A and B are shown apart, each in its own frame.
Chain A
Amino acid sequence: MRSSLIYLLVFCLAGFAGAVLLTRPGVVSDSALEGLVGDPVAGEQVFWAAGCASCHAAEGATGEDRLVLAGGQRFASDFGVFVAPNISTHPEAGIGNWDFADFVTALQEGTSPDGRHYYPAFPYTAYRLAERQDLADLWAFWQGLPASDAPSAAHEVGFPFSIRRAVGFWNFLYMDDAFAVTGELDAAEARGRYLVEALAHCAECHTPRDALGGLDRSAWMAGAPNPSGSGTIPALTPDRLTWSEGEIAAYLNDGFTPDFDSAGGHMVSVIRNMAMLPEADRMAIAAYLKALPPAGE
């Protein structure tokens, strides 16, 4: 009797320890980043490809205003409303007092400098796949961005999603270290995959999610309900998106469909980013989309 109680206690302790370990926020150390030197010019391309401004600049911002990462855009979801924080270079209101390891830890582990999980509305699950050299370049570019003293607003997330530690379980389930599209890819398709899956995080809207909000990788880019509002985000698989590669690349540049309807919703902001990339990158994205497995019925 007594020994079975001890077993139970040990079992519970082990379970608790396991849960603590499992949900512990990950951190990237300085030593893991040794030797990386950032190039701010290359970093600007990473900045646009990664779509930072689409969520962290003011809604509808254009031109230079897209460099002011004051936050404030609201993203409704099934779990509550997420409010993009100030990630400008302001030392108190933004992330101006971070070091490079803090930055990489945020982008690739989803962990804040004070050791808390970010919510996966922030696509660290995608950025996790980014090359560290690209992040060094991005951080170098970041240093030249303007500071905003606008305070960050709190997320409006109710219990139980307000328990940040639980995001650790989510990460255990969904934080993947591999590209979704595998198999033989040529150079352009591979570049497109890197842009789409690691930086531009297109799947966040174009791939359906399961009940816990994780991406359903078996339906990669197969289209999904609009995550924040009514309507549908279209499928990008070659059986559904039948535009030519040239038409896709042109759409990502000028925002017009082949029929010269215009892009709408959050895609307008995405195109403002994509238009800043070299034409070869837009063509690479198109090549990748043509290499996607079909969505089927």
Chain B
Amino acid sequence: MTARSTLLKIALVATTIAALPALAQDVPAAVQARQGQFQIMALNIGVVGNMARGNVDYDAEAAQAAADNLVAISMLDQQFHWPEGTDNMAIDGTRAMPAIWENLPDVIAKWDAFGAAAQGLAEVAGTGLEPMRAAVGAVGGTCGACHDAYRQPM
């Protein structure tokens, strides 16, 4: 009895583990692409953000490169990253809320605001720590503005 239930548990765990990579692969390519895009954004904001926080020394060249990357991402046409039916009510593996598709003009305006803030950062990122810090704050504000309304908490 005990041996059998132990076997059953092992089988269950094994199945679960086997199912995990399959689950990751089940996330649509468009969702993976947009999540990758946000990871690239986070990585580059981290470069200027750590300088702004005083965690690392200000480096004009690195700050400029990171800012330019953010501008580049802001210029990617987003239409292929957000197909209908890829919200968190429809599929697992995303925190994108259905409200995105119900308020597309607002979402696009918020994405454009990120682009404008990134542009603002790129104009000053290489000129000194203080102007860069202010511009990083503005970029952060545009991240929050969208996540406030359109991303599910953890």
Contacts and interface: CB of A to CB of B under 8 A. Distances in A.
A254 interface: yes
B154 interface: yes
Contacts of A59: 149
A232 B147 CA distance: 15
Given A254-B140, A271-B144, A260 B152 contact: no
B45 A256 contact: yes
Interface string B39-52: 00011011001001
A260 B42 contact: yes
A230 interface: yes
Interface string A212-248: 0000000000000010011111100000000000000
B81 interface: no
Q: Indicate the size class of the contact surface on chain B.
A: 20 to 34
Looking at chain A's contact residues, is the secondary structure mostly helix, strand, loop, or mixed? Answer: loop
B102 interface: no
A265 B49 contact: no
A60 B145 contact: yes
Interface in A258-280: 259-269, 271-272
22 contacts: A60-B148, A60-B149, A62-B145, A230-B89, A230-B97, A231-B95, A232-B154, A234-B154, A254-B53, A254-B137, A254-B140, A255-B143, A256-B45, A261-B38, A262-B147, A264-B95, A264-B144, A265-B151, A267-B153, A268-B144, A269-B148, A271-B144
Given A60-B145, A260-B45, 11 more contacts: A62-B145, A229-B153, A231-B153, A234-B153, A256-B49, A263-B147, A264-B95, A264-B152, A265-B152, A268-B147, A269-B148
What 4 A-B pairs have minimum CB-CB distances, sorted nearest first?
A264-B147, A262-B143, A268-B148, A260-B46
